[in-house]
Structure 1
Amino acid sequence: MANNKSAKKRILISKRNNLQNRFYKSAVKTLTKRFLKDLETYKTSQSSNDKEKTQIVLNSIYSLIDKGSKKNVYHKNTASRKKAKLAALLKTV
């Protein structure tokens, strides 16, 4: 257990940051799964409606990754790698 004021404060800050990090990381994982599912649907149907839906999900993933990178949840290179991987998947279709 922490014995001084600054150590107690650091414990509270680390708990807060842990919750924030978990929110961003789990949201990105969830949206990535939805993106992959929508991408499979688009591959089979090739309809413009499915492509728009996939693009909307991709844009929201980009937004969350950028916000997470800004708040130091992701390193900037990790964020770029994740975004490039998703863009490459969409481009192959």
Structure 2
Amino acid sequence: MANTSSAKKNVRKMARKTAVNKSRRTMVRSNLRKVEDAITAGDKAAATEALKVAEPAIMRAVTKGVYHKNTAARKVSRLNKRVKAIG
């Protein structure tokens, strides 16, 4: 447990940042799931639309420090490849 006042404040700050990052990560995962569902269904139009929404969300998570830049680039690249392979 934190003893000093600055350590207690850092604990409070971490809790707030954790909550924000958790919601951002959840949002990104939801967008990814929508793309995955459209790919599984074989619906190229829906997959393309879902990817248009998911890509900026993934890159926004990078700027906020939730994901590493290369991880996001890899995810987007693989999704693009799978969407193009439909039909």
TM-score, normalised with respect to structure 2: 0.84
CA distance in 1, matches of 2:55, 2:30: 13
Determine whether 1:74 maps to 2:45: no
Cα deviation, residue 54, structure 1: 2.1
What number of residue pairs does the alignment pair up?
A: 86
CA distance in 2, matches of 1:92, 1:56: 15
What is the root-mean-square deviation of aligned Cα atoms in Å?
1.6
CA distance in 2, matches of 1:9, 1:63: 33
Structure 1 residues not aligned, in runs of 5+: none
Residue identity matched to 2:40: E
Residue identity matched to 2:50: V
Who is 1:92 aligned against?
A: 85
Who is 1:13 aligned against?
A: 13
Determine whether 1:57 maps to 2:55: no
Structure 1 outlier segments of 4+, above 4 Å: none
Question: Per the alignment, in what secondary structure is the counterpart of residue 66 of structure 2?
Answer: coil
Identity of aligned residues (%): 28
Cα deviation, residue 33, structure 1: 1.6
Who is 2:36 aligned against?
A: 36
Cα deviation, residue 92, structure 1: 1.2
CA distance in 1, matches of 2:32, 2:19: 20
Who is 2:2 aligned against?
A: 2
Question: Per the alignment, in what secondary structure is the counterpart of residue 3 of structure 1?
Answer: coil
